[in-house]
Structure 1
Amino acid sequence: MANPPKIFLLINRAHAAIARAAERKTKALAELSMPQHGVLVLLSKRDGQTVTQLAKALSMRKSSLSGLIDRMVDRGFVRREKDAEDGRVVRIYLELAAENLVQRTVPFVQHVNGLLLAPFDAVEQEVIGRFLTHLAENAESVIDQVDLPEERE
């Protein structure tokens, strides 16, 4: 390839485009933001996670996620409960109203995922998945290896 893709630019543009479009649809479909939807999906797969676990899975700061969960508690989507074995630990649980929302929104997300991957054959889809996983798991360590240029006088 003569000119490799400009990863930072393309990832930023792709993220902004998909986030804008998905946010618009999840708001219309279920009055949910994308981060709220992410919390609900994660809890539907494994209920009773901690804020720390959810924040890590969603690549969010715990402080940002705590406020988001406060709003979700107010809407009756989730509840907080102290851990039975360690009272210092608070777990987040899905409420019935949110389970119904997840059942409505997950098929939409799966359909969109299919549409986005449709132009690519199975081998290309596997490469896309590997690349994005690599990026998510290794970006910090790769970038941390690069020394900043010295300031010029």
Structure 2
Amino acid sequence: MIEDEIRELLDRISAEMRRDYAALLREFNLHVGQEQLLCRLWRSDGMTQIQLSESLNCEPPTITNMVKSLESHGFVVRKRDPEDGRVSRVYLTSAGRNLCEPVERIWNKQLDKLLTGILPEERLLLRRLMKQMADNLS
């Protein structure tokens, strides 16, 4: 059935991209998923862990573990919110900010590899279909 083939292709693409990302990110002491957390902070530094959890659609304990790991590598620091001491905010360090460009290069390299041989008009169709699939899951 075509549905089986689609599922298998989605699984294969996901697994291979994750494997490739893992290998490329390892050079920067990052694990898959941590670059997404950093990306959120590059756009909006000082987010709370709850905001990160909601933004990344991850459970709070997962975010806590990611933040601890990133903190241990010197990429982020946690600071108490000056207005609400119960809230912890996550801030990039200079080392964390310096990862933005290399991580974006990794993303672009992977996207170029993935889209090789796909014409511009096919990319537009692919984007529309993927957006529909993402919306179907929401």
After TM superposition, the score normalised by the length of structure 1 is: 0.76
Which whole-Å CA distance do the structure 1 matches of 2:84 and 2:121 have between them?
A: 46
Aligned to 1:70: 68
Quote the Cα distance in structure 2 between the aligned partners of 1:101 and 1:16. Answer: 24
Report how many aligned residue pairs link the two structures. Answer: 138
C-alpha deviation, 1:5, in angstroms: 6.4
Letter in 1 for 2:130: L
Aligned to 2:131: 133
Q: Which has the higher contact order (CA 8 A, sep 6+)?
A: 2
Report 1:96-111 matches (<5 A).
96-111=94-109
Q: Is the counterpart of residue 23 in structure 1 residue 31 in structure 2?
A: no
How much is the aligned-residue C-alpha RMSD, in angstroms? 2.2
| Alpha-carbon distance in structure 1 between the residues aligned to 2:50 and 2:82 | 17
Question: 1:12 aligns to what SS in structure 2?
Answer: helix
Name stretches of at least 5 consecutive residues in structure 1 with no aligned partner.
Answer: 141-153
Shift of 1:57: 3.1
Relative to structure 1, the CA distance from residue 129 to residue 53 in structure 2 (aligned partners, 3 Å threshold; closer, same or farther) is farther
Distance, in Å, in 2 between the alignment partners of 1:126 and 1:69 is: 36
CA positional deviation for 1:33: 0.8
CA 1:96 to 1:114, structure 2 compared with 1: closer, same or farther past 3 Å?
same
CA distance in 2, matches of 1:76, 1:13: 34
AA aligned opposite 1:93 = Y
Per-residue CA shift, 1:81-122, capped at 9, x if unaligned?
A: 222333333221111011112222212221321232232122
The answer for the alignment partner of 1:91 in structure 2 is 89
SS at structure 2 position matched to 1:17: helix
Q: Which residue identity does 2:126 align to in structure 1?
A: I
The one of 107, 111, 116 equivalent to 1:118 is: 116
Contact 2:24 2:106 in 1 (8 A): no
| TM-score for both structures, normalised by structure 2 | 0.83
Output the CA distance in 1 between the equivalents of 2:4 and 2:126.
Answer: 14
Name the amino acid aligned to 1:19.
R
Structure 1: how far apart are the matches of 2:124 and 2:56? Answer: 22
